[in-house]
Structure 1
Amino acid sequence: MNSRPTMADVAAAAGVSTMSVSYTYNRPSRVSAATRTRVHAAAAQLGFTGPHRAAQSLRSGKTNNLGVVLTEKLTYSFENPQARAFLSGIAEACLDTDSGLVLLPNSRIGADLNRVRDAQVDGFVLWTTVVDDPMLEVAVGTGKPVCIQGGPSYPGARLVGINDEEAAYAIGTVGVKQSKRPAVLSFPRDRERVVERVLGPDPDDATFPVTADRLTGYRRAMADAGFEWSDVPVSFVATNSRAEGRVAATQLIETGVDAILCTSDDLALGVLDVAPAMTVTGWDDSDEARDAGLTTVAQSLFDQGRDAARWVLGTLDEVPAADWSLKLRSSTH
């Protein structure tokens, strides 16, 4: 069986140096057009298809791949508009550096931990996860750069995201202004994703930092408006979907609530599906939110994804603070 031809074989056949062959494939501007023509002709004659990428990666320690770890099923990245925006930002950063994007799930602790530990990537961007997620130790333990969107904070990793507590306080203040019985429709509290309705839950019990911070901000807004947090119903959903928003909203409305603060636009749109006149706030300022006249928190998950990926890939020295703003529309009258 003939062995695979090497760059040295091509160099000998073309009458040039091995370095000239390497430049022809990896840095073509460094050699003349005539040299490139001779190298390609010799390569075609020998059946040489280019440098062996796996061998190059072993020598350089670089794979030119970025790992993106989701705390959801992989389908979430295609179904959820916020996840799509985040991944689009990552994809732009990969395009700028000619890097591949490897999507990795984080829903099954055993298999997914090993998959991340063995991933042939140059670093990781993690979608928000829980504070006790073993994936954090695994990802940072690879020694590769790690950036986490939305938290949690973890030694050896960078964070990208907005100040969720302050944004929640700001929009909560708007949402309960005219209310006599407000409620909250929230992301899951923890990885168990139990669907439940609780009066005044302790935000610190939530192991998803995004959930904890937004509940803390809402609680402050409720207190300033004169409400006892212990009397405020909070419905937790299993996933962030419009369908779950409809179900939870129907149940909350039956208890007599007149305003609902939601931790996402999808959940808020579900509320408007069943109660178009309800006072409701969302989060993320999606296209659908703008069309529906939804008062919401605007943030750019595209920018956050792009900045996280650029830092991991080494084209950004520091991850900048992410901005947010309120979009006041008809859903808060």
Structure 2
Amino acid sequence: AKAAGVSVMTVSYSFNHPDRVATHTRERVLQTADGIGYRRPHPTATALRRGAPLQIGVVLGEHLTYAFDDPVASAFLSGVASECVARGMGMTMIPVTGEEGPKDSARILSMDVAGYIVWATSDDNPLLQALEETGRPVVVSGGPTHKNWGLVHLDDYSVAREVAALAVRGRQHPAIISLPEAQHRLQTLQYGPEPVTTTFEVHRRRLAGYRAAVEEAGLDWSEVPVLFLSRNDEVEAKEAVDKLLLKHPATDALICMSDRIALAALSPIRASGRAIPEAISLTGWDDGTEAEREGLTTVRQSLRDQGVLCARMLFDTELNTYQAPCSVEVRSTTGA
């Protein structure tokens, strides 16, 4: 403020409320700030000055144990936490499964946090309305898309299409093990479902990509069994794959929407006497350490980096849309 010859309030308005400052004054403030290496107000200092909360809330549509049991969720939360440490802020996890209805919404509304990061959830989750009512900044990981919120996501459709093409190459009877279909989180077996009916935006995009690959291989999507799990869980996935292979013994390609599901599928596949990839191909999504060890063809993404990006976007109140990088890692479970 001293260097620019203006008040502290004018500097604050220049960064946070530019509509309240004359254009030439704001330009002088920003040029002065750039000259001394000052980028923007530190969120911790701003929070202290305003008496605002010194923590953010991370909304998980799962039970609290999921944050520690699931390696993908853990990596994401680690990224959020690292940025919180760098900013001198705290992090509060808010596990809300939707099972308690109004109570879950009340928890969201009662939290003393500066803003929220939302782990991918369904379009029809009533908690989204509660988040909107808080009037606080929100950043979503994965989806759903909201015009007033930040979003960090992948090009799920394109990379799903690419990895599925590897799985179905030279195959006749593919099957898909999907993450939940909708907020109700019921395990269901469907044949050639319309991706648009899936209310999780991330899962919807991936299914659309899988469908494109199946049809481009000359196969009939309407005949493809798609098993929606209730959650990303090894025990459920193992039992589901076992039942699927018994019901559809001709299955020669298994496309899984997460590494956790694909790795759980290894046991029932091997128990059935099928050789991978000769008798059945297998793909996952995430690319953790175990996926590499098992030679799993999968989609590589950095959930930790995405957590950092979500937190950074929230702290800087730059609620934009950012497409994070991802790629297909071709390994032995899909053959040459």
TM-score, scaled to structure 1: 0.80
Q: Which among 238, 251, 254 is matched to residue 246 of structure 1?
A: 238
Contact 2:151 2:320 in 1 (8 A): no
User: How many Å apart are 1:155 and its aligned residue?
Assistant: 2.5
Deviates more, 1:274-283 or 1:311-320: 311-320
Runs of 4+ in 1 over 2 A off after TM superposition: 56-59, 315-321
Contact 1:151 1:159 in 2 (8 A): yes
Structure 1 position 230 matched with structure 2 position 232: no
Q: Which among 101, 111, 126 is matched to residue 109 of structure 1?
A: 101
User: How many Å apart are 1:252 and its aligned residue?
Assistant: 2.0
| C-alpha distance in structure 1 between counterparts of 2:251 and 2:294, whole Å | 21
Structure 1 position 131 matched with structure 2 position 123: yes
| C-alpha distance in structure 2 between counterparts of 1:109 and 1:179, whole Å | 44
Amino acid at match of 1:93: E
Contact 2:179 2:231 in 1 (8 A): yes
Q: CA 1:192–1:100 in 2, change beyond 3 Å: closer, same or farther?
A: same
**Pairwise CA RMSD of aligned residues?**
1.7
Alignment match, 1:193 = 185
3-state SS of paired residue (2:62):
coil
Equivalenced residue count is 278
Alignment match, 1:274 = 268
| C-alpha distance in structure 2 between counterparts of 1:57 and 1:296, whole Å | 42
Q: CA 1:115–1:149 in 2, change beyond 3 Å: closer, same or farther?
A: same
Q: CA 1:315–1:140 in 2, change beyond 3 Å: closer, same or farther?
A: closer
Alignment match, 1:295 = 297
User: 5+ residue gaps in structure 1?
Assistant: 1-55
| C-alpha distance in structure 1 between counterparts of 2:218 and 2:65, whole Å | 42
| C-alpha distance in structure 1 between counterparts of 2:256 and 2:126, whole Å | 29
User: How many Å apart are 1:93 and its aligned residue?
Assistant: 0.6
Note the alpha carbon deviations across 1:122-161, whole angstroms, 9 max, x for none: 1100001111222122213222110001100113111111
Structure of higher CA gyration radius: 1
Amino acid at match of 2:230: A
Alignment match, 1:265 = 259
Contact 2:151 2:319 in 1 (8 A): no
Alignment match, 2:142 = 150
Alignment match, 1:330 = 332
| C-alpha distance in structure 1 between counterparts of 2:51 and 2:165, whole Å | 51
Q: Which among 199, 206, 221 is matched to residue 214 of structure 1?
A: 206
Contact 1:140 1:157 in 2 (8 A): no
Contact 1:307 1:319 in 2 (8 A): no
Contact 2:139 2:319 in 1 (8 A): no
Alignment match, 1:67 = 57
3-state SS of paired residue (1:326):
strand
Alignment match, 2:42 = none
The percent of aligned pairs where both chains have the same amino acid is: 38
Amino acid at match of 2:252: D
| C-alpha distance in structure 2 between counterparts of 1:315 and 1:190, whole Å | 30
Q: CA 1:64–1:217 in 2, change beyond 3 Å: closer, same or farther?
A: same
Alignment match, 2:83 = 93
3-state SS of paired residue (1:89):
helix
Note the alpha carbon deviations across 1:193-222, whole angstroms, 9 max, x for none: 111211101111111111111110000000
Note the alpha carbon deviations across 1:22-81, whole angstroms, 9 max, x for none: xxxxxxxxxxxxxxxxxxxxxxxxxxxxxxxxxx97961421101000011111101100
Note the alpha carbon deviations across 1:98-122, whole angstroms, 9 max, x for none: 1111011221321121111121111
User: 5+ residue gaps in structure 2?
Assistant: 1-45, 271-275
Contact 1:70 1:104 in 2 (8 A): yes
Alignment match, 1:178 = 170
Contact 1:311 1:319 in 2 (8 A): no
| C-alpha distance in structure 2 between counterparts of 1:198 and 1:73, whole Å | 26
Note the alpha carbon deviations across 1:176-208, whole angstroms, 9 max, x for none: 002110010001101111112111011111111
Alignment match, 1:141 = 133
User: How many Å apart are 1:319 and its aligned residue?
Assistant: 5.6
User: How many Å apart are 1:224 and its aligned residue?
Assistant: 0.1
3-state SS of paired residue (1:159):
strand
Q: CA 1:135–1:280 in 2, change beyond 3 Å: closer, same or farther?
A: same
| C-alpha distance in structure 2 between counterparts of 1:196 and 1:132, whole Å | 18
3-state SS of paired residue (2:91):
strand
